[in-house]
Amino acid sequence: MEMASLTGTIKVIFYIILFYYLFKFLMRIFAPILMQKAVNKMQEKMQEQYRQQQEQQNRTSQANAQTPKPKKEVGEYIDYEEVK
């Protein structure tokens, strides 16, 4: 019985080591591809935000240019006298 558990333990350790190196090998292949996709996606989001910001600034500047600024209207001047 002890021999069976020893070979089972060795098999488990062998499979763990095998999967570890297989995972490590696959990550060397696929990690750069995944990172590049993530960077490209983030860059596209940043460009979209920049475009939206530029459009918003253009709309704001056009709205300011189209609406004339109201002139300051000065009300009546009232002279107060001190009452005793």
Segment 60-71, tens digit of pLDDT: 877 776 666 666
| 3-class SS shares of the chain: helix, strand, coil, % to 5 | 75, 0, 25
Per-residue model confidence (pLDDT) at position 69: 62
d(CA 81, CA 25) in angstroms, rounded, equals 93
Segment 3-55, tens digit of pLDDT: 778 899 999 999 999 999 999 999 999 999 999 999 999 999 999 999 999 99
The answer to pTM > 0.85 is no
Please check the confidence at residue 1 and state whether its pLDDT lies above 60: no
Cα 65 from chain centroid?
33
